Amino acid sequence: MLANGGHQRLDTVRDTLDEAIDQTLRAGEIIRRLRDLVTHGDTEMRIESLPALISEASGLVSAGAGAGGLKVRLQLDASAEAVLGNRIQLQQVMLNLIRNAEEAMALGEPHEVDVTSVRLNADTIEVSVADCGVGVSEDVAEHLFEPFHTTKVSGMGLGLSICRSIVEAHGGKMRYRPNECGGSVFSFTLPAIVRE
């Protein structure tokens, strides 16, 4: 508007900028409330079967990919069975990580994602989602879990930030490392439950 004779439209430009500021503040407040809900809200936690939870989430992504689409390979440690958590939230983490991996491999072949679980010790289980996609540059890796940081054209930069909040609300940690094939490995830990 300024480039096209905006001096006569200065009031309109000012109103448009005020509206943009209001909407940005509103979006920030929504995201803050969402993060507060995930990290401090009353979340129904119960003992869940981690292999079942992972299998369901990967099945949902695979079904959405269609024929000849994404192949999710599961390598689930039988000793990494039970976790205390919110099934829906943990499945959301899995869905987001698998979909991110799928998008990272959009132009390459094969479209395969490796999902593994392993019991690290008596108290901790680790879940990893690995792809051989485009990978992440070092400067992007430093900001991966920050809100509004994205490399996607249509992304909002909230997925990994919310995933991290969910994992931390479950007493775990989330991290990234480069994959040997050039792609990415996103992993998170959860406290293990011993079933008797």
Q: How far is CA 148 from CA 33, 96, 161, in A?
A: 15, 15, 8
Helix, strand, coil in percent for the chain, rounding step 5:
45, 20, 35
**pLDDT above 70: residue 35:** no
Tell me the pLDDT tens digit for each residue of 51-108.
999 998 888 876 655 545 678 899 999 989 999 888 888 998 999 999 888 887 776 6
Tell me the pLDDT tens digit for each residue of 3-32.
666 566 777 778 888 878 877 776 666 666
- Neighbouring residues of 140: CB distance < 8 A, sequence distance ≥ 6: 149, 151
For CA atoms 41, 80, 101, 184, give the dihedral sign: positive
What percent of the chain has pLDDT above 70?
A: 70
Tell me the pLDDT tens digit for each residue of 127-162.
999 988 877 777 776 767 665 555 555 555 567 888
**pLDDT value for 44:** 77
Q: Using only C-alpha atoms, what is the Rg of the chain?
A: 20
Q: How far is CA 158 from CA 17, 117, 170, in A?
A: 24, 25, 18
Residues, the chain, total? 196
Mean pLDDT rounded to a whole number for the chain = 79
Tell me the pLDDT tens digit for each residue of 41-61.
556 788 999 999 999 888 887
